[in-house]
Structure 1
Amino acid sequence: MRLQDRLFLQRESALLDAARLLFRQQPWDRVTIAEVATQAGIGKGTVYKHFPSKEALFARLTLDMSHANLAELRALHAAQPPQQAMRQVIRRAFEQMLADPILTQLCQHCDRPAFQERLEAPYREQFLQLERDYVDFFGQLLHDTFDDRALSPGDCQYLLWGVEACVNGVMARIASGGFEHWAEPTALSDYFDRVTDFIIAGLRGQAANLCAPSASRE
């Protein structure tokens, strides 16, 4: 790799690290490009050579986190017995979100259609590819878990909707600070266990219905 290319990547990494640090010190939506540049020790004008807008910076952070999380979940899936993989993957996905609640909030923000419509075309395509990667991974999990049932791609998409709704609920709960403000606080670890049980039970029931001779989604 050329020296110029290495320096470019080093600056980009410094900017991403600076943004992550600032997001932990103040609300991420109030952080400016100028503040990121100052924190990284890089001129503000140079930032735009890496990220044409603040939305692009948000997108890159979200994409990096999502790709890293997906790689970890794939490795976990490969290391688990097929019938145990789904539970372990769902539970680990919740722990990933809890490990970085600030970026979890940012991921929710970047998932909004209005946000992605403002992005440059390459970033929009990366989000579309990321979605396809997660759908493919989820389909593999379903086929491993319910290998005795012939689930079609449409069936997998249908089941994914329910899982997505539950995962989004967990993301919102983490972003809101958990249950500490409730009259009877609940440990997030217990909450994760119960939601995981709920998802698995729902998947089993719906998969059985879909594969029944008279299956109907009405």
Structure 2
Amino acid sequence: MQPVQRARSETAKLAREDSILTAAEILLRQSGYDAMTMQAVATAAGLAKGTLYLYFNSRESLVLAVHGRLFDRWIDRFAFYQPELTGFDGFCRDFARHYADDPLFLQLAGFATALLEPQLDREAYIKSKRGMARRVKRLAGLACQQFSIAPTAAQKLIWGFLTIAGGTAQMTIRLAVSEADLPDDVIAFTDLANFETVFVNAAAPLGGNLMSRS
């Protein structure tokens, strides 16, 4: 496949960036983070490797951009979901279930901030943090509606949720092995330590703090 020509207009650049993110996401789902290279992404997107670096100057910045896109998709699903459970516990469980719905998003959430962000340059770091701030504000808006709390309290609650979710993702990531290859005690432990259970248990104290401010 011959590499396509450089995008000229802003619309063409955005379309090119979207195609790069799509190619990277597909490779991450197929092969995982360790096997995804910039050359593989460039080939899949039909670009020269040098052109790819005009859009993302490192593998870390590219993977974080994929994570951000998956994050936005998750918020979209969560925002339009009609909850079956009410109260703080119901909100926690809905949050956890949607957060863990996409295995790739959950995997990237486990190491995106801790391992990828420190390797970014200044410009990419600022972009990443601004993207996260925008997502926190959007989620805080949902919390404001759910609990009738002030925006500042809602943002603190969401930051707490996301901190717990990131740690829970690290604790509950499973190896790509069959349960037939694991001893019974390990299977029993991992079944108990699923994402929703660990997240809800860890988030429970935030509910007490929330109620004390109401």
Whether TM-score is above 0.5 comes out as yes
CA RMSD of aligned residues (A): 3.8
Query: What residue is the counterpart of 1:115 in the other structure?
Result: 116
Q: Which runs of 5+ in 1 are unaligned?
A: 212-218
The percent identity for this pair of structures is: 23
CA distance in 2, matches of 1:198, 1:143: 22
Query: What residue is the counterpart of 1:11 in the other structure?
Result: 16
- Aligned pairs for 1:1-218 within 5 A: 4-5=8-9, 6-76=11-81, 79=82, 84=86, 90-112=92-114, 115-147=116-148, 153=152, 155-156=153-154, 159-160=157-158, 162-177=160-175, 180=179, 181=182, 182-184=186-188, 191=194, 194-195=197-198, 197-198=200-201, 201-210=204-213
CA distance in 2, matches of 1:60, 1:34: 17
CA distance in 1, matches of 2:43, 2:174: 30
CA distance in 1, matches of 2:37, 2:198: 37
For residue 61 of structure 1, report the CA deviation from its aligned partner: 0.8
For residue 194 of structure 1, report the CA deviation from its aligned partner: 3.7
Q: Note closer, same or farther for the CA distance 1:103–1:161 as it changes in structure 2 (3 Å cut).
A: closer
CA distance in 2, matches of 1:151, 1:187: 37
For residue 187 of structure 1, report the CA deviation from its aligned partner: 5.1
For residue 111 of structure 1, report the CA deviation from its aligned partner: 0.8
**Bigger shift: residues 119-128 or 30-39:** 119-128
Q: Deviations over 1:110-154 (max 9, x none)?
A: 212x6324324443233222332344345444444444xx7683x
SS at match of 2:165: helix
CA distance in 2, matches of 1:127, 1:54: 14
SS at match of 1:30: coil
For residue 197 of structure 1, report the CA deviation from its aligned partner: 4.9
CA distance in 2, matches of 1:109, 1:200: 20
Q: Is the 8 A contact 1:166 1:195 kept in 2?
A: no
Q: TM-score, normalised by structure 2?
A: 0.68
SS at match of 2:110: helix
For residue 193 of structure 1, report the CA deviation from its aligned partner: 5.2
For residue 56 of structure 1, report the CA deviation from its aligned partner: 2.0
CA distance in 2, matches of 1:121, 1:157: 25
Aligned partner letter, 2:111? H
Q: Is the 8 A contact 1:18 1:39 kept in 2?
A: yes
For residue 174 of structure 1, report the CA deviation from its aligned partner: 4.4
How many residues align structurally? 201
Q: Deviations over 1:53-99 (max 9, x none)?
A: 222211211111112222332333xx559x83755554344344434
Q: TM-score, normalised by structure 1?
A: 0.67
Q: Is the 8 A contact 1:69 1:96 kept in 2?
A: yes
